A and B are shown apart, each in its own frame.
Chain A
Amino acid sequence: MYRIRVRIILALFAISLAVVAAKATYMQIVLGAHYRALAHMRRLRTVPIDTLRGTIYDRNGIPLAHEEPVFQVKVILKEVEKLDEAARKTWCRNLAKISNITPARAEELLQQAKAKIEEEALSSPKEKEAKFIRWFRRKTPQVLIEKVNLKTAALIEINQDSLPGVVTSLKARRIYPQGPAAAHIIGYLQAINPEEFKQYKDSFAGSEHKRFFPQDLIGRQGLERYYEARLRGSRGLKAEIVDAQFHIHEEYAERPPEPGQDLDLTLDIHMQRAAEAELDDLFEEKGLPGSVVLLDPKTGAILAMATSPRYNPNSFFRDWPQLSQDQHHPLLNRATQATYPLGSVFKVVTLIAGMESGILRPETSFSCQGTYHLGDRDFHCIVSQGHGHTDLHMGLVKSCNIYFFNAGKLTGHREILRWARAFGLGSSTGIDLPSESSGLLPDTAWMWKNQGRGWYLGDTFNLSIGQGALLVTPLQAARMMAAIADEGRLRQPHLLASEDSEGSFQDLGISPRTLDFLKKALDDVVNSPSGTGYRHIRSDVVAIAGKTGTAEVAKDIEPHAWFVGYAPADDPEVAIAVIVEHGGLGGAVAGPVAKSILEEIFKPKG
């Protein structure tokens, strides 16, 4: 009987063992491949490798924006939490001593790091996820101090024993070594906002490797924004075999990171600084904002583009509350984003329109009595007693309004507008900067639409002397003058050196006769004693040519002061536009600024 019972048990046991063994066989042999694939998915973690943003250089290779390594202090909270009260106090004291803060501050930073994790955990809808975040963040280094110097970082590394859980890490930070110089051109970076993130989270500029992460910085203004796609590097990717607690066991690079492209600019930081210094003086002494544009007429390259007041991109976010309240709008790049009436500088266009249409000749003369009566309105000249009998040359040199009223009336506004359009006035230049203003060139259609009336002769008068609804940017003015300086070739203004091309221009088809005549007149504006620029602009260092402008804004408000010209007069190398907002007379206020800048540029070397 016992034998039977023993056998029954053994038989049952053998059968179950056989079943289990069969199951093991099935698992390992038949389902093996399936589980291998499953396992691989779980183990392999791909981790992005950060890359570097491109450097921005001026035309002489001086860096204007680059990445700088900064050391961060991070903490593994789990390690700190292991300490008892006394040890933790010592920990805070040690950290404080090394990083030059108070122990209380160290404790505060620690609490902040904790609070940040909790905040992140609470933001996740699922309890399980929140739990994971708490667990994961507590055992991985979290930022404790944003920036420390090399010495502090080294001290922390040396004193690992007395600072459990503290690690240092290296991070790239954007630096603008020139400070506020060319700030508006270079721009600045800011953390990407949620809308942008939504748009760029999968790819940016056609590349998934350039896609944005939630904390990434994006160019906000200037070239940083315009060339974001070039400056932004491609993140690399490394694969890691990790265990269930995210310890790394194997690591190999799948794709190395690609740094962003560098930008070589046409900008000359010395010219930029010279221009800015002049504007800064004016702003500091008289509170007058202004802008200067320097162009190479032979290429369209921007040599300098200054605006005042300015900001410092290195401390932009600290200064932000003040900057945003400033009535002078320091964030505005006046050279491309502000528009002004061009004033008498526009007479150059009226002259070309008249001469090219055959209506004005050098000997065409009008009599100026100081006032032109049109219906019930009086249009005044700049000299109240009038210029008397004036020919075309003197009309421009002395900037006689009455002459150009007559000239405009004869030529007709359509012809003047055609030339203004050809020079690109009232439309954006397409320079490689974001948010360029187009300005305004009013025509009949515009009048109907905005004034509810047709084009009157008075509008032609206003247009002929650059008043009325006409609005241009300083860049447009500079480009116009550069085209005149370079035999009527209109070029694309640009900041990127690779865009330089002498062969690429649009020939406006101005006859050499007109150009020669005009250039002589522009020369005399500055260099003949009767010219409006003679007193304040004529220079012994370099022969400057150009046109002054005093753009009326409204009654009882000081007009904008313009000088737009080029130098040297016989073989122009630089075209310049200067505007001083509400500065008064162009020759007296804008002129000296242009003169100082050009003298600084052309002064004999050595």
Chain B
Amino acid sequence: MEKERYGIIFSVTFLLALGIIMIFSTGSVDEEGPLASRLFLKHLSWMALSIGGLLAVSRIDYHFYQRHALKLLIAVFILLVIVLIPGVGYAAHGARRWLRAGPVGFQPSEFAKFALIIFFASFLTRRKERIKGFLATFLPAMLILALTAGLILKEPDLGTAGLICIVALVLFFVAGVRFSYLLGFGALSASLTYIILWPRFDYWQGRIQSFLNPWEDPQGGGYQIIQSLIALGRGGLGGVGFGASQQKLFFLPAARTDFLLAILGEEMGFLGTAFIVLLYTIFLYAGMSIARKAQDFFGFLLAFGFTFGIGLQAAINIAVVTASVPTKGLSLPFVSFGGSSLLFSMLSAGILLNISQRKAVVEDIPKWVGVQDVS
């Protein structure tokens, strides 16, 4: 699977590079100057760590995770609980999402996203024979998912919780869980969300309302979306030029994280945005191809889950920045500033590379792939 491997390496490398460029550019408005900008240096450090992580993980046989899936899940729960404890968890912008050790911040929800995909891949592989069972497969999976999502919602981090749910459900779907169960669960959770959560989540409600009509309150709720649109609009076809973004001058909140693409669109124009979309498409294509050719069911689910998760997060981020869906608080994988997000995206990519290195042996061809697909 040479081609796929190069596809992953190519797209990730370019996305990382664009990330460095854009964070350098947005950092240029900091008092210290672009090179000395604390965030820029931080980003570089995280990137070095992440690349190291990717290289390490790509050398570890991915079946290793299958054996330790449960431990990972327990670690997820512990971290998600302790981040909620005031004084331990670090809050910013009204959400308690971070664990801090000195200058290093860590988002347990990013880890949860990564670890849950591993756990479910392992879980579904183990339950492969009883995949259609309700009590054996569906219910425990749903309970674990609901518990995790609930803890993340408590932070609150709606974007990540939603993303984990969708990725998990899609994973269940492709693994062969009965569609009617999933549909039922989807309908149930949708109505539950509507009844219980909607009126309580002012924060969420506000987001949706400002999404529906950002111009109603351009200085308030609609501000971020409008600033994002202005950034993209200013960019036009060719962009205003590298470093020339004005939106990054604190007009656009979260310009380095969730809305970095808007600044990229402003400075590099439609060509830049289109290039980003192309890079993700390559990543998706390569990732899906790795999943398809994976050695076993676990490899397939793992590759599919990571690829889909990263692709979905990128798609949602692009959709948010273009005001196609309400703001979510999801960063652009590999590109945005954000230590834990970058690290776990890179670890995912590392695992993908490892899966791609293990060719399916003809005897091992899983039934689910179909003989004609073996390359």
User: Is A23's CB within 8 Å of the partner chain B?
Assistant: yes
Output the least CB separation between A148 and chain B (Å): 29
In the complex, the answer to whether A249 meets B249 with C-beta atoms within 8 Å is: yes
Chain B residues lying within 8 Å of A13, measured Cβ to Cβ, are: 284, 308, 311-312, 315
Which of B6-14, B42-50, B233-241, B344-352 forms contacts with chain A?
Answer: B233-241
CA distance A159 to B308 in the complex (A): 59
Considering only CB atoms, which chain A residue lies closest to B312 in the complex? Answer: A13
How many chain-A residues does the 8 Å CB contact rule pick out? 37
In the complex, the answer to whether A20 meets B170 with C-beta atoms within 8 Å is: no
User: Is B78's CB within 8 Å of the partner chain A?
Assistant: no
Which residues 376-402 of A have a CB within 8 angstroms of B? none
Which of B84-92, B112-120, B316-324, B334-342 forms contacts with chain A?
Answer: B316-324
Considering only CB atoms, which chain B residue lies closest to A36 in the complex? Answer: B234
Whether A10 touches B288, Cβ cut-off 8 Å, given contacts A28-B237, A42-B251, is yes
In the complex, the answer to whether A32 meets B277 with C-beta atoms within 8 Å is: no
Whether A20 touches B315, Cβ cut-off 8 Å, given contacts A9-B174, A32-B237, is yes
In the complex, the answer to whether B237 meets A29 with C-beta atoms within 8 Å is: yes
Task: Among A16, A28, A244, point to the contact of B233 (Cβ < 8 A).
Answer: A28
Whether A27 touches B319, Cβ cut-off 8 Å, given contacts A9-B170, A245-B250, is no
Chain A residues lying within 8 Å of B107, measured Cβ to Cβ, are: none
User: Is A555's CB within 8 Å of the partner chain B?
Assistant: no
User: Is A205's CB within 8 Å of the partner chain B?
Assistant: no
Task: Among A9, A33, A35, A43, point to the contact of B173 (Cβ < 8 A).
Answer: A9
User: Is B204's CB within 8 Å of the partner chain A?
Assistant: no
User: Is A318's CB within 8 Å of the partner chain B?
Assistant: no
Chain B residues lying within 8 Å of A19, measured Cβ to Cβ, are: 324
CA distance A244 to B247 in the complex (A): 9
In the complex, the answer to whether B311 meets A24 with C-beta atoms within 8 Å is: no
In the complex, the answer to whether B246 meets A43 with C-beta atoms within 8 Å is: yes
Considering only CB atoms, which chain A residue lies closest to B269 in the complex? Answer: A28
In the complex, the answer to whether A21 meets B277 with C-beta atoms within 8 Å is: yes
In the complex, the answer to whether B324 meets A36 with C-beta atoms within 8 Å is: no
In the complex, the answer to whether B269 meets A243 with C-beta atoms within 8 Å is: no
User: Is B232's CB within 8 Å of the partner chain A?
Assistant: yes
In the complex, the answer to whether B277 meets A17 with C-beta atoms within 8 Å is: yes
Chain A residues lying within 8 Å of B312, measured Cβ to Cβ, are: 13
Task: Among B233, B277, B281, B308, point to the contact of A34 (Cβ < 8 A).
Answer: B233
Output the least CB separation between A39 and chain B (Å): 5
In the complex, the answer to whether A241 meets B246 with C-beta atoms within 8 Å is: yes
Consensus secondary structure, chain B interface: helix
Chain A residues lying within 8 Å of B235, measured Cβ to Cβ, are: 28, 32
User: Is B254's CB within 8 Å of the partner chain A?
Assistant: no
Considering only CB atoms, which chain B residue lies closest to A3 in the complex? Answer: B370
User: Is B62's CB within 8 Å of the partner chain A?
Assistant: no
Of the candidates A2, A3, A241, the one having the most CB atoms from chain B within 10 angstroms of its own CB is: A2
Considering only CB atoms, which chain A residue lies closest to B29 in the complex? Answer: A243
Chain A residues lying within 8 Å of B249, measured Cβ to Cβ, are: 43, 242-244, 247, 249
User: Is B123's CB within 8 Å of the partner chain A?
Assistant: no
User: Is A31's CB within 8 Å of the partner chain B?
Assistant: yes
User: Is A554's CB within 8 Å of the partner chain B?
Assistant: no
How many chain-B residues does the 8 Å CB contact rule pick out? 47
User: Is B77's CB within 8 Å of the partner chain A?
Assistant: no
In the complex, the answer to whether B277 meets A28 with C-beta atoms within 8 Å is: no
Considering only CB atoms, which chain A residue lies closest to B291 in the complex? Answer: A6
CA distance A42 to B246 in the complex (A): 10
User: Is A38's CB within 8 Å of the partner chain B?
Assistant: yes
CA distance A3 to B265 in the complex (A): 36
Chain A residues lying within 8 Å of B176, measured Cβ to Cβ, are: 1-2, 5
In the complex, the answer to whether B250 meets A17 with C-beta atoms within 8 Å is: no
Considering only CB atoms, which chain B residue lies closest to A243 in the complex? Answer: B249
Of the candidates A1, A16, A17, the one having the most CB atoms from chain B within 10 angstroms of its own CB is: A17
In the complex, the answer to whether A17 meets B232 with C-beta atoms within 8 Å is: no
Chain B residues lying within 8 Å of A20, measured Cβ to Cβ, are: 315, 318-319, 322, 324
Which residues 96-131 of B have a CB within 8 angstroms of A? none
CA distance A23 to B288 in the complex (A): 25
In the complex, the answer to whether B277 meets A24 with C-beta atoms within 8 Å is: yes
Binary contact track B289-308/A, C-beta < 8 Å → 1, others 0 = 00110000000000010001
Output the least CB separation between A129 and chain B (Å): 11
In the complex, the answer to whether A24 meets B265 with C-beta atoms within 8 Å is: yes
Output the least CB separation between A139 and chain B (Å): 12
Chain B residues lying within 8 Å of A42, measured Cβ to Cβ, are: 230, 251
User: Is B355's CB within 8 Å of the partner chain A?
Assistant: no
In the complex, the answer to whether B319 meets A9 with C-beta atoms within 8 Å is: no
In the complex, the answer to whether A5 meets B174 with C-beta atoms within 8 Å is: yes
Chain B residues lying within 8 Å of A24, measured Cβ to Cβ, are: 232, 265, 270, 273-274, 277, 318, 321-322
In the complex, the answer to whether B174 meets A29 with C-beta atoms within 8 Å is: no
Which residues 307-339 of A have a CB within 8 angstroms of B? none
Chain B residues lying within 8 Å of A43, measured Cβ to Cβ, are: 246, 249, 251
User: Is A128's CB within 8 Å of the partner chain B?
Assistant: yes
CA distance A38 to B222 in the complex (A): 15
User: Is B201's CB within 8 Å of the partner chain A?
Assistant: no
CA distance A3 to B176 in the complex (A): 10
User: Is B193's CB within 8 Å of the partner chain A?
Assistant: no
In the complex, the answer to whether B288 meets A243 with C-beta atoms within 8 Å is: no
User: Is A357's CB within 8 Å of the partner chain B?
Assistant: no
User: Is A530's CB within 8 Å of the partner chain B?
Assistant: no
In the complex, the answer to whether A28 meets B315 with C-beta atoms within 8 Å is: no
Chain B residues lying within 8 Å of A34, measured Cβ to Cβ, are: 233
Chain B residues lying within 8 Å of A36, measured Cβ to Cβ, are: 233-234, 236
User: Is B368's CB within 8 Å of the partner chain A?
Assistant: yes
In the complex, the answer to whether A28 meets B324 with C-beta atoms within 8 Å is: no
In the complex, the answer to whether A28 meets B251 with C-beta atoms within 8 Å is: no
Output the least CB separation between A443 and chain B (Å): 69
User: Is A160's CB within 8 Å of the partner chain B?
Assistant: no
Chain A residues lying within 8 Å of B230, measured Cβ to Cβ, are: 35, 38-39, 42
Chain A residues lying within 8 Å of B322, measured Cβ to Cβ, are: 20, 23-24, 27
Output the least CB separation between B25 and chain A (Å): 14
CA distance A245 to B246 in the complex (A): 12
In the complex, the answer to whether B318 meets A21 with C-beta atoms within 8 Å is: yes
Task: Among A2, A32, A244, point to the contact of B236 (Cβ < 8 A).
Answer: A32
Chain B residues lying within 8 Å of A25, measured Cβ to Cβ, are: 270, 274
10 A-B pairs whose Cβ atoms sit less than 8 Å apart in the complex: A5-B176, A25-B274, A28-B236, A28-B269, A29-B236, A29-B270, A38-B230, A39-B231, A39-B233, A39-B246
Q: Which residues of A contact B (CB under 8 A)?
A: 1-3, 5-6, 9-10, 13, 16-17, 19-21, 23-25, 27-29, 31-36, 38-39, 42-43, 128, 241-245, 247, 249
7 nearest CB pairs, A to B:
A35-B233, A243-B249, A32-B236, A244-B250, A28-B270, A2-B368, A244-B251
Given contacts A6-B291, A42-B230, 15 further A-B contacts (CB under 8 A): A1-B176, A3-B368, A6-B304, A9-B174, A16-B315, A20-B319, A21-B318, A25-B274, A32-B235, A33-B236, A34-B233, A38-B230, A39-B233, A243-B249, A247-B250
